[in-house]
Amino acid sequence: MSRIHSFNTGLEAKFLSHASIVFYRKGFRYRKHCATLPGKPDIAFHKQRVAVFIDGDFWHGYNLTRLGKRPPNLYWKIKIEANMRRDRRVSRELRKLGWRVLRIWEHDVERHHLIVINRIIRALDKVRPQ
């Protein structure tokens, strides 16, 4: 567990290596792991009030029961379910503060990073301050 990082993961670095250039060219500025917001979003666009979380499939329970993938033991089941409850609570808190929350799955970043970048851009364009 000590080698598992909650931020600055390889997945985030890989995604931001592609996305940061696009965000910058479009005029969007962001902060990584903003500690002043609930849940410390992986990417926070303050002007547009958009918070982006890049969630690992295993750690955040992607299709945990539907796909028949079960954690190896009870400890992991409890841990993952707690992560899922926390994700819902954090998203709710951010929405109450007026933020739009985007949750991006690990497999989407790995397979379709351009689609994910466009999804974030569309969300940012919808709330771009005039």
Q: Does residue 4 form part of some domain? A: no
| Residue 7 pLDDT | 55
Q: Does residue 32 form part of some domain? A: yes
Q: Does residue 73 form part of some domain? A: yes
pTM for the whole thing? 0.84
Closest to 43 (Cα-Cα) out of 60, 26, 62, 19: 19
CATH code for position 53: 3.40.960.10
Closest to 102 (Cα-Cα) out of 23, 41, 24, 22: 41
Query: DSSP secondary-structure letter at 130?
Result: -
Count: domains in the chain: 1
Q: Does residue 61 form part of some domain? A: yes
Averaged pLDDT, 78-97: 92
Q: Does residue 1 form part of some domain? A: no
Percent of the chain at pLDDT > 90 equals 46
Classify 105 as helix, strand or coil.
Answer: strand
Average pLDDT, the chain: 84
Q: Does residue 92 form part of some domain? A: yes
| Residue 83 pLDDT | 87
**Helix or strand holding residue 22 (H, E):** helix 10-25
Q: Which residue has the higher pLDDT, 69 or 29?
A: 29
Domain of residue 57, residue span: 10-126
Dihedral sign (CA 16, 20, 23, 26):
negative
Q: Does residue 5 form part of some domain? A: no
* Burial (0-12, 13-18, 19+ Cβ within 10 Å), 84: middle
| Residue 105 pLDDT | 87
| Rounded Cα–Cα distance for residues 83 and 32 (Å) | 20
Q: Does residue 3 form part of some domain? A: no
Q: What is the pLDDT of residues 8-64, one digit of tens each?
A: 677 788 888 889 899 999 999 999 999 999 999 999 999 999 999 998 877 677 766
